[in-house]
Amino acid sequence: MSSADGVSPLDGASGAPSLQRILRRPAEPGMALAQIETPALLVDLPALDRNIARLAAYVQSQSPGVRLRPHAKTHKSPDVARRQIAAGAVGVCCQTVGEAEAMAAAGIADILLSNQIAGAGKAARLAAIAGQSRLSVCVDDPAQVALLSEAALAAGVTIHILVELDVGGARCGVQSAEAARALAELVQSTPGLGFGGLQAYHGRAQHMRKPQERKAAIERAILLAGEAAAKIRAAGIACDTVTGAGTGSFEFEAASALYTELQCGSYVFMDADYARNERDDTTAMPRFEQALTVLTTVISTPLPDRAVCDAGLKAMSLDSGPPSLQLHPGLDYAGVSDEHSTLTMHAPATLRVGQAIHLVPGHCDPTVAMHDWIIVHDGKRVLDVWPVTRGW
Amino acid sequence: MSSADGVSPLDGASGAPSLQRILRRPAEPGMALAQIETPALLVDLPALDRNIARLAAYVQSQSPGVRLRPHAKTHKSPDVARRQIAAGAVGVCCQTVGEAEAMAAAGIADILLSNQIAGAGKAARLAAIAGQSRLSVCVDDPAQVALLSEAALAAGVTIHILVELDVGGARCGVQSAEAARALAELVQSTPGLGFGGLQAYHGRAQHMRKPQERKAAIERAILLAGEAAAKIRAAGIACDTVTGAGTGSFEFEAASALYTELQCGSYVFMDADYARNERDDTTAMPRFEQALTVLTTVISTPLPDRAVCDAGLKAMSLDSGPPSLQLHPGLDYAGVSDEHSTLTMHAPATLRVGQAIHLVPGHCDPTVAMHDWIIVHDGKRVLDVWPVTRGW
């Protein structure tokens, strides 16, 4: 029996005994796709590399000088991050301290935690990362400034700080240019910290379906971020970085002459929800390919038109709608439970027990986070198996 | 820096070098709850033990002779399974081969995979489990019978087989008593396999809100399962086990004089969705407590009525609705994104950055599957940290 979930007593980093877990990888390079046990998370490597190259080429040609800092919350994979950096990215964004630790351990030299943190433990972990890599983090509250300063001083490092401005996302971020200026001044005068600029990400704009809706939302974000940057600069503080943008909107931030960095994440994998965004084909916007699938197997065909396969709510996130069956014309997605998807066959008995199905996830980021490994392939064989960062 | 996501080259089970991953646990016994880094999955141990004792007592008093075989897909935890067995359960159900491997490795002697499988690899893994524990698995197709027979013969073991009947779940399962009899006869005559009885679980009945709706659905399931058992027995085949039932309906299967086993899973943790089921207080049905929470921390309070905390779609499943704030009167759940929940405060500024929030997940099973560890506590301190089975 494989000890796929073995738990072994090993020595912890501290030297004290600590219960640890060993996860074995589910496939090996050279294996045929048909041999992979399911459900499994698959990435088509040629498609991934084309997506990386297309965004890099677009930014370089359309807005030279704007930096690309892809969001690693999409892939949680140092292996993907290294390919993005090899194509010209300046570093990565992370959304959790655990992701930032994994990126720093893999040698990524420039990391932005595009999020707020709380708690002395997480501040100390960030300061430890700042001893290895250039580390920036967002704040929108003086309490975070105090916490980060204390940790930076204790570790003898500098933590770079971006003030987050709410530019329409309605989540975190200060609510006015004046508040941004006040917080920038506080950061500027706080030991252990360096003020870096503005985080101005508009998450809600990414999935607006029409290009003109996304454009209008980002025009408003540019206005708000521009006002805040001007206020900060008027106070005598350099505001070198204005960072934001995602896969749905980056063309507008890239052309703004304000944003200096783009944080696109999903473009690298794509998903069924982003595929529903309408395009304006009069622009040079790159087309990204679907590189991510969940491989599943038919385990039951109880009725002539019903097939049940072995990937459900624990193998893919349905928060942005069900997975797409675009790779399997003739099938409809009929229902999901914890470990099952139910499919309807247009023509009776077209599927048998044991057949493989490639589902295109509705939402890539939370789907990837459910898995321990990404199986990388070329459509025929396994090329590599990459770990997915676990924990926070 | 903690190597929370370390990847080390270690020797695989085969002797060949294999990339493996070590997951360090996020808390230690004795730690105060306030010290736990978030998001984290917490279980209140006294509440868990009361839930286990209440169901065991109910079954023993109301339907002596009916066996309890709790579903381990809820907890994916050998530690929880051992407590259920200590309280009288005969073994566990699993939904994946990976869960069954983890339970067998932990010494659970009687395991039912309440699901179909496909593929020679999974059949071989099941046969390996059958060399350690009593192992039963469901079939609804002759293809599965052939696969399991081959694996059992190769390993020199007996795999026990239940024929699954669709009693209203509209997922897997044969569609008639006659089809159940035919498949039972095939199993009976196939080497390496032993026919064990019927799987007759009605998943859809579990979340019908009114007790009389659940009762009517299970009455229909009892009728169908009774017909199938009679057909099988009329063919001269013993049908010792009729197994099914869940947290929403078990009182009806327990009282049926047909079902011999109950597969309740969620009762051990409970969740916000099960809490919406209406009760009939004229019965002796036990009340189960909410033992499972997702601990999260406020990381931002950008408006007087808005707080943002650090648990989102990657820390809890929203498939059955948002988490409940029943432990925090005065807060409403306003929105979710990958790593954030947005809360609305009824009274301005009642939360500050750094405060802890206990969210009650909408759906326990897929929420647990997102985590690597369950932090077990008594309301004040960490008592233990239990691994969650990873992989399939």
Positive or negative, the Cα torsion across B345, B348, B353, B358?
negative
Cβ-proximal residues to A190 (8 Å cutoff; 6+ apart), any chain: A145, A146, A149
Q: List the single residue in B96, B310, B363 with the smallest CB-CB distance to A339.
A: B96
If you average pLDDT over residues B356-375, what whole number do you get? Answer: 98
Say whether residue A299 is in contact with chain B using an 8 A CB cutoff: yes
Determine, yes or no, domain membership for B212.
Answer: yes
- Count CA atoms within 13 Å of residue B232 on its CB side: 31
Residue A22 lies in a domain: no
Give Cα A176 distance to the centre of its chain. 27
Predicted confidence at residue B391, as pLDDT, reads 92
Range of the domain at A109: 45-274
For residues A231 and A295, membership in a common domain is answered with no
The reply to whether A175 touches chain B by the CB within 8 Å rule is: yes
Could you tell me if B150 and B221 lie in one domain? yes
User: Do A269 and A310 have their domain in common?
Assistant: no
Annotate A148-181 with DSSP letters as a single string.
HHHHHHHHT--EEEEEEB-SS--SSSBSSHHHHH
* A109-123: average pLDDT: 97
Residue A253 within a domain: yes
For residues B87 and B156, membership in a common domain is answered with yes
| Residue B134, pLDDT score | 98
Q: Is A344 helix (H, G, I), strand (E, B) or coil?
A: strand
Q: Does B271 touch chain A (CB under 8 A)?
A: no
Residues of B in contact with A365 (CB under 8 A): 313-314, 338
Chain A residues whose CB is inside 8 A of the B342 CB are 170-171
List of chain B residues whose C-beta atoms are within 8 Å of the C-beta of residue A23: 20-21, 23, 390-391
For chain A positions 189-248, those within 8 Å of chain B (CB to CB) are 203
Average pLDDT over residues A222-246: 98
Instruction: Write the DSSP string, B142-180.
Output: HHHHHHHHHHHHHHT--EEEEEEB-SS--SSSBSSHHHH
Q: Which residues of B touch A392 (CB under 8 A)?
A: 37-40, 310, 315
Say if residue B203 is in the same domain as residue B238: yes
CATH code of residue A177: 3.20.20.10
The answer to the question of residue B276 being in a domain is: no
Beta-bridge mates of residue B344 = B306, B332
pLDDT digits (tens, 9 = 90+) for B123-168: 999 999 999 999 999 999 999 999 999 999 999 999 999 999 999 9
A118 interaction partners in chain B (CB closer than 8 Å)? 297-299, 310, 353-354
Residue A11 falls within a domain, yes or no? no
Question: Would you say residue A7 has pLDDT above 90?
Answer: no
CA distance A305 to chain B (A): 12
Per mean pLDDT, which range of A107-116, B2-11, B184-193, B272-281 is the poorest?
B2-11
- Mean predicted confidence (pLDDT) in A196-205: 97
What is residue B21's predicted lDDT score, i.e. its pLDDT?
A: 64
pLDDT for position A18: 40
Query: ipTM score here?
Result: 0.94
Residue of B141, B144, B299 lying closest to A117 (CB–CB): B299
Q: Which two tokens stand for residue B147?
A: 């696969």
**Same structural domain, B226 and B143:** yes
Q: Mapping DSSP to helix (H, G, I), strand (E, B) and coil, where does residue A288 land?
A: coil
Chain B CB contacts of A128 under 8 Å are 1
Res. A5: pLDDT tops 70: no
pLDDT digits (tens, 9 = 90+) for A314-335: 999 999 999 999 999 999 999 9
> What is the C-alpha to C-alpha distance for residues B95 and B392, in angstroms, rounded to an integer?
9
Q: Does A313 touch chain B (CB under 8 A)?
A: yes
The CATH number for B360's domain is 2.40.37.20
Q: CA B178, B181, B182 angle in degrees (round to 5)? A: 90
Whole-angstrom distance, CA of residue B343 vs CA of residue B331: 6
**Residue A219 Cα, gap to closest chain B Cα (Å):** 22
Residues B331 and B371 in one domain: yes
